[in-house]
Structure 1
Amino acid sequence: MTAVPDSPAVLTSFDLDRAWDVHPQVAVRPEPFGALLYHFGTRRLSFLKDPTLLGVVTTLSDHPSARAALAASGADVPQQRRLARALATLASTDMITARTEASS
């Protein structure tokens, strides 16, 4: 199992060692190109065109951290770095949210 190397850009905006989930107000709709994420609270729409990213997002709740979800995806280290940046973007737009003890 390879680890995602920490990079300053990812660490400043996204904690890979926290547990994350898809936000409760977000619907994930599979599409031929990947998936649509729609946030009912903010009315934001995100497109996931990478099947590996979709797999990571939909299995976040199965893992103790984002880093563990990335490692379980089977992606190599450069892919994991790219996926971590994508997760950071999804977190910044509230599509995914840090898991609290109550939601674990």
Structure 2
Amino acid sequence: MYIIHRSSGLIDGKQISHPNIEIKKGKVKRTITEQMNLEYNSLLKEYKDKGYKSISDLGYKNISEFDPETVLPKEKRDQNNAIKPMLAKLIQSVPKSTLNSVTN
């Protein structure tokens, strides 16, 4: 049996564990190892489609060479490298007490 353990989070930040994926047998005439590789690569492709990058995509061969402070952009970007805009609220939905504290 293989178990794919996933966690996510910011570098040096809190890590969030996701449910483990247990692979107990191969499907469609695949061995259990082939099934595990297929599911693992599928998960990686899903993350890359969302805009995540791997260390090798940034030109590094080893994680110890990677310095996120110099490599990663300060602003968030999507998979097309376009800057994601900051979320905004309608002024009508902001409480007047909050608006008063900003203007004073």
* TM-score using structure 1 length: 0.28
Structure scoring higher RCO (CA < 8 A, sep ≥ 6) equals 1
Structure number with larger C-alpha Rg: 2
Larger strand proportion of the pair:
1
TM-score by length of 2: 0.28
